[in-house]
Amino acid sequence: MWVIVRPKPKMAGSVSFFKAHGIEVAGFAPIDIVDATGALAELETTLSNTQKPITLIVTSTEAAVRLQQTKLGETSLCMCIGSATEKLMKETGLTCKTPEIQTSEGLLSMPELQHVTGQHFALVKGQGGRALIKQTLQKRGAIVHEFDIYQRQLLNPGICSQPIDWHQAQGIFVTSQALLDATIDEIGLHTLKNKMWVGVSQRICEYGRSMGIQDFYSSDGATDAHLLGWMQSKGEVGHDRT
């Protein structure tokens, strides 16, 4: 059985997705997502006061859901990491784009973000995440306004969709470095380092390997569909049996 490590708001949906495709998985949520005080109001003020066109960068569905309740005003473009995030943001009426490889690295490789000297960006994300985007855009000469509109809250113990025997786990799918750290902290590296892991980007894979986890692969995307495609391509599961 595979273990799907997700934040609490997404765990049940991921488990249901795989069960709908005839695959038994267990969900594990070591982190919850809660609102960050004041950040949305700061974003509204920035969008209304900035004279030059500003591009929104929305990094997750958690950010997108919160932005749907916000006065976004006029923006030149909304760039999203992930098709699910793009779908939510299009409901606000904005013109949206998402990279083919739905990661920070994929976003930064898009043509629209190569020559950005003097351009304004509103980076909307969770607290402590997506440092690579801000750092890279600033190196390219952009002006980046950062808004942490939600934060991660550690759950200890984490929440499981069913009892998990970690020693018997076939593999573990994790969508962020924060989730990887929280899982290792709770379960223990000695129990998990010899398991097969799948992350959403090469960056997470390299981080995991630096901890001593050698069997670490990238699905090149954070959605359940990306993981399912990876599992099927590697022969880890059969194709859709529904």
| Signed CA dihedral, 238, 209, 9, 91: sign only | negative
Structure-token pair, residue 196: 């097969």
Residue 239 lies in a domain: no
Residue 147 lies in a domain: yes
Are 126 and 46 part of one and the same domain? Answer: yes
- Once rounded to an integer, what is the mean pLDDT over residues 52-67? 90
Which of 119, 151, 183 is at the close of a domain? 151
Which of 151, 186, 219 is at the close of a domain? 151
Contact 15, 161 (CB under 8 A): yes
Contact 40, 62 (CB under 8 A): no
Residue 242 lies in a domain: no
Are 75 and 109 part of one and the same domain? Answer: yes
Are 144 and 56 part of one and the same domain? Answer: yes
| Signed CA dihedral, 216, 217, 219, 220: sign only | positive
Are 11 and 65 part of one and the same domain? Answer: no
* Statement: residue 88 has pLDDT above 50: yes
Are 214 and 142 part of one and the same domain? Answer: no
Residue 106 lies in a domain: yes
Which of 124, 151, 178 is at the close of a domain? 151
Count of domains observed in the chain: 2
Are 28 and 132 part of one and the same domain? Answer: no
- Once rounded to an integer, what is the mean pLDDT over residues 63-79? 83
Are 147 and 44 part of one and the same domain? Answer: yes
pLDDT number for residue 191: 95
Residue 114 CA, distance from chain mean position: 22
Are 71 and 143 part of one and the same domain? Answer: yes
Residue 50 sits in a domain of what CATH number? 3.40.50.10090
Q: Name the residue range of residue 54's domain.
A: 36-151
Are 111 and 42 part of one and the same domain? Answer: yes
Residue 160 lies in a domain: no
Are 102 and 184 part of one and the same domain? Answer: no
- Once rounded to an integer, what is the mean pLDDT over residues 165-189? 94
CA quadruple 148, 5, 171, 16: dihedral, nearest 10: -130
Are 11 and 64 part of one and the same domain? Answer: no
The pLDDT tens digits for 180-232 are 999 999 999 999 999 999 998 888 999 999 999 999 998 877 788 888 888 88
Question: Which range has the worst mean pLDDT, 74-88, 98-112, 181-195?
Answer: 74-88
Residue 209 lies in a domain: yes
Mean pLDDT across the chain: 89
The identity of residue 190, as a single letter, is: H
Contact 36, 148 (CB under 8 A): yes
